[in-house]
C-alpha cells in the first residue's frame, strides 16, 4: 500500500477532555482521547464541516486497525468511496482502548466503569472541542463501533448525514451473546491471580477469557478450510491465543466487555433521522441472523435498511466488517441516497 497516496495528511494526536463525567457518576479530571486523522476538514459557506467521516472500532481494538491494507486500501485511496483527498477521516481510540485513557494506565480496577454512552460522549467532545468538527458526513463502525453508531443516531440525530453500523444489533445484549460476555468477565475476576486488579503479570484467567473471545467470534467455514486436521486446528488455536495474549490486558478486557451492560438502542430507534444502513453477515456467530432481531427493529426506523451478506468462502464471520470488498457497494448506495437527501 502506498501510504502517502492513500493516507494523505496522516496525523496522530491526543486530545485531553477536562472534567469528564461518566454515566455511573464518577469524574476524571482529565480524559485522554487518542485519534488518528487522514485528510483535511472542509467547510461550506455557513462554516459547517461537510466531509468528515467518523469510523469506530470494535471491542479490544483501536482506530489504527483501520489503517490496514484490507480496509484503508479499499476505501481511502484516490477515486474510492472515502477518498481521503476529499474526506476527513477520523479514527479515534475509545475509552479503555488503544492509546486513550484505560484501566491499565494506573487506576486499574479503580478506573470508572464506563459504558458505550460514555464512549460516544467522549467522541462527540473530541470532535466538537478538540477537532472543531460540527457535522459528520458519515458515522460508521464495526462490532462495538457498529453498536455505538446506533447510539450516535439517536443521541445526535442532526449531527450526521448517514449511518453505517456493521456487525451489530440495535437491541439489549442478552441470550448467548450476554452469556459469553459474562463468561469472559468472570474468567478474569474469578481468578485469584487477578488480585483485585493489582497483578504483576497477566493472570491465567486472561487465557480463559481469550478462549471465550475465540469461541464468540469463531468462523466455522473458514476455520475448517484453514485447519482441516486435528494438528492444524491445535496449531491455529495456539497461534490465536498467543496473539491475543500479547495484545490484551486483563483489566482492560474486563472493562471493555463490561461496557456493553447498558447498551439498548431499541426504545430510541424512532429518533434516528439520518439514512441508516445496517450490514451483517450470515456467518456472524455474535449476531446470528436466525434470531430475527434486526428485521423487527427495522420496522421502527423511519429511514433504515438492512443487508445480510450470505455466507461464502469470502466472508469472515463477525470479522467480515473489516473487509470492505464484501459490502462497499452498499456503502456506495447509502452515500448516494444521503447526498440526495442533503441536497434536497
Mean pLDDT within 16-35: 97
How far is residue 94 from each of residues 57, 157, 238, measured CA to CA in Å? 8, 21, 28
> What's the pLDDT at 177?
98
Mean pLDDT within 89-95: 98
Q: Which residues contact 11 (CB under 8 A, 6 or more apart)?
A: 36, 37, 38
Q: Are 34 and 93 in contact (CB under 8 A)?
A: yes
Q: 154 in helix, strand or coil?
A: helix
Under CATH, what is the fold of the domain 3-174+261-343?
Rossmann fold (3.40.50)
Residue 344 has pLDDT above 80, yes or no: no
CATH 1.10.1740.110 describes domain 175-259? yes
Q: Are 108 and 251 in contact (CB under 8 A)?
A: yes
Cα four-point dihedral sign 294, 295, 301, 303 = positive
Report CA dihedral (26, 153, 133, 13) to the nearest 10 degrees. Answer: 50
Distance CA(234)–CA(104), nearest Å, equals: 31
Residue 101 has pLDDT above 90, yes or no: yes
The residue extents of the domains of the chain are 3-174+261-343, 175-259
Percent of the residues in the chain that have a pLDDT greater than 70, as a whole number:
100
Grid coordinates 466531509 are at which residue? Answer: 51
Residue 2 has pLDDT above 80, yes or no: no
> What's the pLDDT at 206?
98
> What's the pLDDT at 159?
98
Grid coordinates 456467518 are at which residue? Answer: 283
Per residue in 213-246, pLDDT tens?
999 999 999 999 999 999 999 999 999 999 999 9
Residue 303 has pLDDT above 80, yes or no: yes
> What's the pLDDT at 301?
94
Amino acid at each position: 500500500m502506498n501510504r502517502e497516496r492513500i493516507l494523505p495528511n496522516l496525523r496522530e494526536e491526543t486530545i485531553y477532555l477536562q472534567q469528564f463525567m461518566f454515566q455511573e457518576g464518577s469524574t476524571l479530571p482529565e480524559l485522554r482521547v487518542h485519534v488518528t486523522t487522514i485528510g483535511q476538514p472542509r467547510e461550506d459557506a455557513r462554516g459547517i464541516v461537510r466531509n468528515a467521516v467518523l469510523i469506530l472500532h470494535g471491542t479490544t481494538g483501536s482506530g489504527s486497525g483501520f489503517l490496514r491494507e484490507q480496509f484503508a486500501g479499499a476505501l481511502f485511496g484516490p477515486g474510492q468511496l472515502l477518498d481521503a483527498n476529499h474526506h476527513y477521516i477520523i479514527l479515534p481510540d475509545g475509552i479503555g482502548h488503544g492509546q486513550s485513557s484505560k484501566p491499565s494506565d494506573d487506576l486499574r480496577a479503580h478506573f470508572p466503569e464506563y459504558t458505550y454512552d460514555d464512549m460516544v460522549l467522549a467522541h462527540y467532545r473530541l470532535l466538537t472541542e478538540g477537532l472543531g468538527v460540527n457535522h459528520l458526513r458519515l458515522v460508521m463502525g464495526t462490532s462495538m463501533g457498529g453498536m455505538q453508531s446506533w447510539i450516535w443516531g439517536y443521541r445526535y440525530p442532526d449531527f450526521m448525514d448517514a449511518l453505517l453500523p456493521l456487525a451489530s444489533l440495535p437491541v439489549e445484549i442478552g441470550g448467548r451473546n450476554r452469556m459469553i460476555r459474562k463468561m469472559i468477565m468472570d474468567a478474569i475476576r474469578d481468578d485469584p491471580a487477578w488480585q483485585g486488579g493489582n497483578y504483576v503479570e497477566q493472570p491465567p484467567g486472561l487465557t480463559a477469557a481469550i478462549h471465550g473471545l475465540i469461541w464468540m467470534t469463531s468462523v466455522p467455514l473458514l476455520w475448517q478450510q484453514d485447519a482441516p486436521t486435528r494438528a492444524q486446528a491445535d496449531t491455529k488455536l495456539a497461534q490465536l491465543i498467543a496473539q491475543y495474549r500479547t495484545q490484551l490486558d486483563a483489566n482492560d478486557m474486563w472493562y471493555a466487555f463490561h461496557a456493553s451492560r447498558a447498551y439498548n438502542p431499541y426504545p430510541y430507534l424512532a429518533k434516528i433521522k439520518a439514512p441508516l444502513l445496517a450490514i451483517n453477515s450470515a456467518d456472524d456467530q455474535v449476531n446470528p441472523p436466525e434470531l430475527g432481531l434486526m428485521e423487527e427493529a427495522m420496522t421502527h426506523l423511519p429511514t433504515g435498511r438492512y443487508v445480510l451478506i450470505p455466507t461464502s468462502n469470502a466472508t469472515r464471520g463477525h470479522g467480515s466488517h473489516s473487509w470492505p470488498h464484501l459490502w462497499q457497494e452498499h456503502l456506495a448506495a447509502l452515500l448516494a441516497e444521503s447526498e440526495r437527501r442533503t441536497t434536497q
